[in-house]
Amino acid sequence: MFKKLKEGLRASKGEFTEIRVEKAQRTNVKYEKEKLMNIDSSEEIGGIVRTLVQGGWGIATFNSIDEIPKKAKRAHRIGKEVSSHLDESLKLAEVTPRKDEVKPDQGRDLREVSLDQKRDAVKKYNREMIDYDERIKSTKAIYSDSFRELKYVNSEGTELYQEIPDVTLALVAIARGDKNNIQTAHDTVGEAKGFELVQNREEMARSVASQAISLLSADPVQGGTYTVLLNPKLAGVFIHEAFGHLCEADHFYKNDRLQEIMTLGRKFGPENLNVVDEGYIRGRRGNLPYDDEGVPRQKTYLIKDGKLNSFLHNRETAAKMDQEPTGNARAISYRHEPIVRMTNTYIEEGEKSFEELIGSIDHGIYAKDAYGGQTQLEQFTFSAGHGFVIEDGKIGPMVRDVVLTGNIFKSLKNISGIGNDLDIIGSAGGCGKGGQMPLPVTDGSPHIRIEDVTIGGR
């Protein structure tokens, strides 16, 4: 196939041309209550040509390898037309050409597990939740996997072949108590591994059902301002959604408000706060040594020693801001061009034990897991899966409806403790941006203590 890709490069007359081809096999299984709602298996192949012509991109997609030379010529014509309407010609930062082949680790190859075996596993976990307690009135058990083979070449001499397995499991239990008391609990796992990741997950299913039942007797949290302890799952989602997106350079340089706030070297938190986007951690979701522009991924410190240290770049934004590419060009599939996206985003661990973090809290909230949220520039709102009251340094009763709101920059400054228990967590679903959703990402953090957090409630 590389021979055909090189034919496409020769057919293009642009200053720069890249061709990315993807072959993907996918499986999905979904149960709701006791009913199998969906089961499917599919395979597709396709690709995209991008050609830079006089500072404008020309793009063409294809589903047949034989079409590549023709599509390369079409991309050139489109690029030429686009460039005639540009006010500013774009440029690409220079990178060293690479040739490499990358294959993953799979304990049990996803492609060698039958559709019936995948269905039976999901059915079993769904049944575990249903049978846990008669108050469990509804469930969802959703399995998804894919195995993607990516080939990439460009006119600078880069030639890459990369394989990406991806497997996820999401479990949801809905419990009903007295009157209109309905509570939901969920948990997910997701990694760039084989079928072994989702085997023997009965305890996960029982835990989800148990949490839904426990929430029936939990009181709603009292609204107010608290010292809050975030568990690693919630803290990881928090740093990804509320801060990580602000560091994506294509978002930054188009936003005047961000340019005023996000100046390199500005202090955003305590000196022991370090926030990282690490491009490649073997086994994590959606991870590869090279991004979708063929650039090696890096470990990028967004915040280092409490100060803003770097942005995330593709080749275009790096050239525009006169910085180095960070390997963060990602596309959800061959149908899309790569844009600046996060990979594995996490807060590095500190020195405090869990006991030290919670022991100094006289009255606060221990907020666990993430059930959704939204951000608007620096403002955020996050719903925790559940929480616990903290009294005199000890965990008290469970509370529900824990919604955290605030300003990300104020909250970072108010971090008063960072745990020594870093957990980098893969989950189902993914990140959305620019119409590309869901992109596999991984978040992580140790336990984080933050002062003066506003929590909504009754």
Q: What average pLDDT does range 405-432 have in this prediction?
A: 94
User: What's the Cα-to-Cα distance from 193 to each of 44, 378, 405, rounded to whole Å?
Assistant: 21, 35, 35
Amino acid (one-letter) located at 54: Q
Residue 372 has pLDDT above 80, yes or no: no
Identify the pLDDT of residue 458.
57
Q: What average pLDDT does range 322-349 have in this prediction?
A: 96
Q: Pick the more confident residue, 2 or 388.
A: 388
Residue 278 has pLDDT above 80, yes or no: yes
Amino acid (one-letter) located at 30: K
Whether omega for the bond prior to residue 270 falls within 30 degrees of 0, making it cis, is: no
The pairing of beta strand 307-308 with beta strand 299-304: antiparallel
User: In the chain, pLDDT over 70 holds for what percent of residues?
Assistant: 100
At 439-454, the pLDDT tens digits run: 999 999 999 999 999 9
Segments making up each domain of the chain, as ranges:
2-217, 220-456
- C-alpha 328/C-alpha 244 separation (Å) is 12
Q: What average pLDDT does range 371-387 have in this prediction?
A: 90
At 200-220, the pLDDT tens digits run: 999 999 999 999 999 999 999
Identify the pLDDT of residue 457.
63
Nearest to 296 by CA among 309, 321, 278, 310: 278
At 6-57, the pLDDT tens digits run: 999 999 989 999 999 999 999 999 999 999 999 999 999 999 999 999 999 9
At 138-171, the pLDDT tens digits run: 999 999 999 999 999 999 999 999 999 999 999 9
User: In the chain, pLDDT over 90 holds for what percent of residues?
Assistant: 89
Is residue 384 within 8 A of residue 226, CB to CB? The reply is no
Q: Which CATH architecture has domain 2-217?
A: 2-Layer Sandwich (3.30)
Identify the pLDDT of residue 253.
83
At 80-118, the pLDDT tens digits run: 999 988 888 899 999 999 999 999 888 999 999 999 999
If phi over 0 gives left and psi between -120 and 50 gives alpha, with beta otherwise, what is residue 142?
Answer: beta
Is residue 328 within 8 A of residue 297, CB to CB? The reply is yes
Q: What average pLDDT does range 388-394 have in this prediction?
A: 97
Residue 338 has pLDDT above 80, yes or no: yes
Q: Where are the beta strands (DSSP E) in 293-441?
A: 299-304, 307-308, 329-330, 339-340, 344-347, 363-376, 379-391, 394-400, 403-407, 415-418, 423-426, 431-433, 436-439
3-class secondary structure, 108? coil
